[in-house]
Amino acid sequence: DTGVSQDPRHKITKRGQNVTFRCDPISEHNRLYWYRQTLGQGPEFLTYFQNEAQLEKSRLLSDRFSAERPKGSFSTLEIQRTEQGDSAMYLCASSLPGAGVEQYFGPGTRLTVT
Amino acid sequence: ILNVEQSPQSLHVQEGDSTNFTCSFPSSNFYALHWYRWETAKSPEALFVMTLNGDEKKKGRISATLNTKEGYSYLYIKGSQPEDSATYLCALSKGNQFYFGTGTSLTVIP
């Protein structure tokens, strides 16, 4: 399978714990995006990387959230001191460079904070 | 932040019916409009990318049109089948960011 993959698919954690998600993009794509989708909403942009550089961050990305893409390949999204409001689907997407080009999505990680 | 709206929020149709949904967006500073189909437990799947006013795209029984001057796009499904049941998302891309609507959830009843 050469699509975007995400791990884990589901995560249940207790409030206050830290969680980390991984995204493996399509290999030739140098752009990688993270989105969050809450119930009844469309996906909301969190951050994006071009190669290993994090170029944009949404104001939604509080200081408890950190994303990395150390070698310009896979990426991790960490949430520290999780809160119930962090419960959401976290989607990763990748694309070739260029404005408006198609983004290819992974299946997402469903986070539930109890 | 760009406000992208989709209607209806949900839709139930009988197998064989044709249907359509709407995506509305600010008509200024338009770059590209994307449609995705998102089935439960799967990845969102890209259907169409449209950039020019008057664009029409077609893939099998699904087609889409774009009006950038008035700020809307329609997605049409002809002869709906149960496998068309999914959430259909539209997104406006501007620069490197995508702005998604809330989606239209389609259920096709056999």
- Per-residue pLDDT tens digits for B99-110: 999 999 999 999
**Cα pseudo-dihedral B29, B31, B35, B40, rounded to 10:** -80
pLDDT at A30 over 60: yes
DSSP-based helix, strand, coil % in chain A, nearest 5 = 5, 50, 50
- pLDDT, residue B1, reads 67
- pLDDT, residue A40, reads 87
CB contact under 8 A, B96 and A31: yes
- pLDDT, residue B10, reads 96
Question: A44-94 pLDDT, tens per residue?
Answer: 999 999 999 999 888 888 899 999 999 889 999 999 999 999 999 999 999
Mean of pLDDT values over B3-30? 92
CB contact under 8 A, A91 and B44: yes
Nearest to A10 by CA among B31, B70, B41: B41
Calculate what percentage of chain B has a pLDDT beyond 90. Answer: 80
Using a CB-CB cut-off of 8 Å, the residues of chain B touching A48 are: 96-97
Give yes or no for A72 touching B (CB within 8 A).
no
**pLDDT range class, residue B96, cuts 50, 70, 90:** confident
> Which residue is it, tokens 């949904």?
B21
CB contact under 8 A, A43 and B98: yes
- pLDDT, residue A101, reads 83
CB contact under 8 A, A33 and B31: no
C-alpha distance from A24 to closest chain B C-alpha (Å): 13
**Dist. CA A35–CA A30, nearest whole Å:** 17
- pLDDT, residue B2, reads 79
| DSSP conformational letter for A9 | S
Among B residues 50-89, those touching chain A with beta carbons less than 8 Å apart: 51, 89
Give yes or no for B110 touching A (CB within 8 A).
no
Beta pairing partners, B79:
none
**pLDDT range class, residue B29, cuts 50, 70, 90:** low
Give yes or no for A41 touching B (CB within 8 A).
yes
